[in-house]
């Protein structure tokens, strides 16, 4: 139950279908802020987005009779997104983050607005939100807010219906917006924060899989394990390095394939030897970004913010709706994931390349007649190259909007969307490595026994896919393996 603030983990849970409930303290804060806005309207004080227009129209006074129309018109003009729709879990996360922002008690929307948003979550009524068009934070949330007033379209119970039809089906009436509510519904960093929560959930799962899959490759290639000794890794101070090193040692403990190759080489290639360093850096980056997202959820990101009391109302125009720290953090995490995915692609090449693997060319059962994983490595390389292009920081994008009024934009939403795209590619690259490493272990099954820690990962794949023999389209196997990574956690020894 939300009393103070969500954290990223709880917001990600709501994105996946968990219920969001508000406690009495949260409802009291929401109602108090709404009464402050009503008092500001009655006072006639100039207040951005309440008694004035928005953006470059901040100095244009809107009379009291037009304030409802201003709120409605903001949604109509700001709902101008284009492109493919966001996934349902992404929309749910944005709604959760927006409710969380309102619950801080400085936005001024009435409780019935929040109740309507909660009803969307409770009934899994998903507004259709185009993924492109937000230079800052406006368009995505405007498309969500349209549904609250009976406009827009949604997906409900597998069907696309109008906002008005959806509200009727879930038993609530369209809301009539009051002063400031239109602005509050499109304002703040809730969009990028919600998307960031979804990304963190995916990254957390992928990092576990990345270590597990890398362990399979290390075993298949007979890695030299002294590089991962606890005392050796401790020479480089990093919580992430320590965590990854321990994970690799635990996964590979008791491997006869590893012991059979002890001392075979002075040292391994860096795509093997530096796994703790690259994966560990990604884990350290994850911890940093998780803290940034949690601070964003704990913050008020509305402009203007209201405070005080109905008797002595206060309104502050500020820049809390801008999210430079969030944008920079999401950019950094995209680079970290792109880097470990690039390293995974290099390991795939080592598995399939007969010049370095000591295994049949491209892991084919019949090299020549069969190409095995030759072209799967091409796909991994293509995805890795796309990630490199996506690594350019969104937080440094330019653009001047709203007639020079909004002449700096941090682009956290673009950074979040870019991170999600990098994750799509990274999941598929690691899935290809999993397929190739399992195939390599199949080839060596008669030589020596696998470790228990890698065997559970191997069996999780073989439970859904048999060994590959150029007997079916490889794309189906790649999709199934990616589905395993995206929907489950990496298995551990019971």
Q: Which residues are catalytic?
A: 48
Here the tokens at position 427 are 């999941």
Element (H, E) at 54: none
Enumerate the β-bridge partners of residue 401.
406
CB-based contacts of 210: which residues, under 8 Å, 6+ apart? 279, 282, 340, 344, 430
Alpha-carbon distance 131 to 105, whole Å?
Answer: 29
Q: How many residues does the chain have?
A: 494
Alpha-carbon distance 389 to 342, whole Å?
Answer: 12
CB-based contacts of 91: which residues, under 8 Å, 6+ apart? 126, 127, 129, 144
Alpha-carbon distance 67 to 53, whole Å?
Answer: 9
CB-based contacts of 376: which residues, under 8 Å, 6+ apart? 348, 352, 432, 435, 436, 474, 478
Here the tokens at position 248 are 């690799």
Q: Which residue has the tokens 């796909």?
A: 379
Alpha-carbon distance 54 to 463, whole Å?
Answer: 57
Here the tokens at position 158 are 């597998």
Alpha-carbon distance 447 to 257, whole Å?
Answer: 7
Cis peptide preceding 367, ω within 30 of 0: no
Residues 132, 82 contacting (CB under 8 angstroms)? yes
CB-based contacts of 119: which residues, under 8 Å, 6+ apart? 125, 170, 171, 172
Residues 219, 253 contacting (CB under 8 angstroms)? no
Enumerate the β-bridge partners of residue 132.
82
What distances in angstroms separate CA 11 from CA 20, 282, 478, one per listed residue? 9, 22, 30
Enumerate the β-bridge partners of residue 108.
none
The DSSP call for residue 52 is B
The DSSP call for residue 20 is -
């Amino acid at each position: 139950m939300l009393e103070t603030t969500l954290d990223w983990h709880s917001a990600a849970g709501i994105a996946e279908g968990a219920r969001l409930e508000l406690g009495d303290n949260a409802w009291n804060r929401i109602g108090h802020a709404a009464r402050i806005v009503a008092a500001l309207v009655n006072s006639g004080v100039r207040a951005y987005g309440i008694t004035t227009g928005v953006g470059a129209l901040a100095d244009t006074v809107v009379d009291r009779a037009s304030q409802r129309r201003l709120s409605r018109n903001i949604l109509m003009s700001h709902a101008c997104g284009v492109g493919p729709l966001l996934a349902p879990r992404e929309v749910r996360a944005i709604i959760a983050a927006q409710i969380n922002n309102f619950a801080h008690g400085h936005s001024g929307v009435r409780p019935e607005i929040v109740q309507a948003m909660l009803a969307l979550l409770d009934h899994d009524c998903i507004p259709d939100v185009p993924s492109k068009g937000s230079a800052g934070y406006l368009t995505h949330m405007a498309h969500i807010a349209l549904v609250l007033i009976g406009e827009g379209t949604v997906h409900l119970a597998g069907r696309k219906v109008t906002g008005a039809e959806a509200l009727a089906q879930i038993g609530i009436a369209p809301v009539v917006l009051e002063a400031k509510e239109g602005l509050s519904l499109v304002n703040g960093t809730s969009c990028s924060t919600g998307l960031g929560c979804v990304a963190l959930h995916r990254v957390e799962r992928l990092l576990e899989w990345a270590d597990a899959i890398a362990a399979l490759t290390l075993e298949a290639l007979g890695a030299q394990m002294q590089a991962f000794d606890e005392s050796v890794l401790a020479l480089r101070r990093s919580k992430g390095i320590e965590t990854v090193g321990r994970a690799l040692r635990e996964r590979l403990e008791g491997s006869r394939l590893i012991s059979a190759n002890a001392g075979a080489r002075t040292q391994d290639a860096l795509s093997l030897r530096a796994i703790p360093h690259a994966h560990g850096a990604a884990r350290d980056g994850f911890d940093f970004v998780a803290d940034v997202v949690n601070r964003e959820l704990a913050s008020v990101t509305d402009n203007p913010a209201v405070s005080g009391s109905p008797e002595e109302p206060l309104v502050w125009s500020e820049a809390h709706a801008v999210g430079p720290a969030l944008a920079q953090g999401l950019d950094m995490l995209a680079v970290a994931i792109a880097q470990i995915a690039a390293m995974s692609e290099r390991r795939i090449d080592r598995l399939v390349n007969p010049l370095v693997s000591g295994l049949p060319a491209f892991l084919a059962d019949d090299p020549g007649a069969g190409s095995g994983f030759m072209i799967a490595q091409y796909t991994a390389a293509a995805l890795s190259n796309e990630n490199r292009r996506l690594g350019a920081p969104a937080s440094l994008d330019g653009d001047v909007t709203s007639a020079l009024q909004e002449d700096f934009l941090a682009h956290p939403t673009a950074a979040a969307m870019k991170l999600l795209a990098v994750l799509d590619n990274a999941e598929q690259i690691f899935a290809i490595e999993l397929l190739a490493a399992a195939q390599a272990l199949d080839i060596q099954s008669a030589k020596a026994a696998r470790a228990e820690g890698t065997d559970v990962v191997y069996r999780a794949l073989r439970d859904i896919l048999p060994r590959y023999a150029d007997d079916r389209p490889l794309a189906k196997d790649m999709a199934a393996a990616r589905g395993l990574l995206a929907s489950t956690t990496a298995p551990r020894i019971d």
